[in-house]
């Protein structure tokens, strides 16, 4: 239903008819359709956490390719979530998930350093690229997109991004 008519058009009545359950049964498990969506998103984030555990054993670029393949396999589902007006919560939770994943990488690479701005920049950039990919706004193959994102993340995490030395010197002067 999410893929066919979009989340905004879905009603609890339509869900219960499609699932062949009573509304009473639905409300025993979920408070509303948003609660059901949260449960679905929770499941997707659990699966994504497992993918992230696998990618920890890989380099940043290879791991990012694995991560983007996960979204490639579920592209229609995530596109439906990104294009639904009512699912701002999904975008917020996805951003939080990306922040958590990148934060662990940054903490390993820069122990004791304040990385708040860098973390927010990188997380929002990854979410933006991911959203553009699942919405069909990027026309490159998933491997190419993932490799580019992975290489950029690796460079930034290792302090080797564009003008990294200039930026590090200016940041040290500011302290």
- Cβ proximity of 175 and 114 under 8 Å: no
Average pLDDT over residues 160-169: 47
- In whole angstroms, what is the distance from residue 71 CA to residue 101 CA? 16
Given this model, what pLDDT does residue 2 score?
84
State the angle between helix axes of 88-109 and 75-82 in degrees (0 to 180), rounded to the nearest 10: 110
Distance CA 72, CA 143 (A): 10
* Inside any domain, residue 43: yes
The verdict on pTM exceeding 0.75 is: no
In a domain, 13, yes or no: no
Instruction: Encode pLDDT of 106-134 as tens digits.
Output: 887 777 777 888 899 999 999 999 999 99
26-71: per-residue pLDDT in tens?
A: 999 999 998 998 899 899 999 989 998 888 888 888 888 888 999 9
* Pair 105, 159: CB distance under 8 Å: no
171 part of a folded domain:
no
Any long-range contacts for 166-170 (C-beta under 8 Å, 24+ apart)?
none
Lowest-confidence range among 4-8, 14-18, 25-29, 45-49?
Answer: 4-8
Q: Is residue 153 part of a domain?
A: yes
State the total domains in the chain.
1
Residue length, the chain? Answer: 175
pLDDT(164) > 70: no
Q: Which of 86, 90, 78, 72 is nearest to 131 (CA)?
A: 78
Q: Could you tell me if residue 37 is inside a domain?
A: yes
pLDDT band of residue 173 (cuts 50, 70, 90) is very low
For residue 1, tell me if it sits in a domain: no
* Rounded Cα–Cα distance for residues 64 and 66 (Å): 5
Q: Is 155 a domain residue?
A: yes
Task: Give the CATH number for residue 93.
Answer: 1.10.357
Query: Does the residue 129 lie in any domain?
Result: yes
The whole domain housing 142 covers 32-162
């Amino acid at each position: 239903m999410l893929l066919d008519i979009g989340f905004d058009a879905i009603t609890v009545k339509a869900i219960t008819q499609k699932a062949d359950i009573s509304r009473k049964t639905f409300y025993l498990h979920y408070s509303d359709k948003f609660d059901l969506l949260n449960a679905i998103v929770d499941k997707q984030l659990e699966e994504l956490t497992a993918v992230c555990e696998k990618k920890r054993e890989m380099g940043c670029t290879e791991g990012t390719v694995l991560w983007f393949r996960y979204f490639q396999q579920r592209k229609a589902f995530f596109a439906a979530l990104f294009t639904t007006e009512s699912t701002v919560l999904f975008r917020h939770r996805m951003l939080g998930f990306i922040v958590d994943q990148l934060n662990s990488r940054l903490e390993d690479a820069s122990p004791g350093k304040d990385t708040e701005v860098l973390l927010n920049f990188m997380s929002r950039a990854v979410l933006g690229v991911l959203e553009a990919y699942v919405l069909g706004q990027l026309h490159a193959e998933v491997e190419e997109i993932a490799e580019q994102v992975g290489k950029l993340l690796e460079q930034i995490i290792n302090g080797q991004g564009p003008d990294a030395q200039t930026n590090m010197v200016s940041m040290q002067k500011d302290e």
